[in-house]
Structure 1
């Protein structure tokens, strides 16, 4: 059973986008608040296999913008994270902790995320 406030289909839709899967995996792994910059670094590291400093701003900007305007707000709307836009801080909620086993099962099934995504 997924949980009382998040249906299974919603969970699958949430995990449909790879950047959100990476964000969820990093939040699950780190178990702490992270900045948008931290999450951007994790996505760049996963997708480009290179440090953030070696990627052009032209490549990083769309990732950061999609996190800020699409992916993090979607997680916040589902009460999985709180998002302080001023401080650019993302914090997992109690609901995230409750759903972590189901989220982890979906994330673990992703062949593109071979090892736990870490910062």
Structure 2
């Protein structure tokens, strides 16, 4: 699922295997290694990790992965607000249309049996 701003991708979410991979674009990088953690709040549920950072065209992309979990999928499916925070910067993303959010969440949930999708 891709969320766009100004006709450019700003957040991309992909479920594959047992993981949900989230890529956020256009934060300013910190001139340090390793980079600080990227935190993504799906409504009341948050995931954080040190991101992989790369340039994609003219955009800087920050990517984290975590196990597919029902608490995150429930928030996505409900159309809860999504906010990303990195190095004292934050980005709020427009609500995803409910039908698309539910289809994405259902597809992700189908990749893992329910006992493996519990909050991690």
The two structures share one fold, judged by TM-score above 0.5: no
The TM-score normalised by the length of structure 2 is 0.33
| Bigger fraction of residues in helix | 1
The TM-score normalised by the length of structure 1 is 0.33
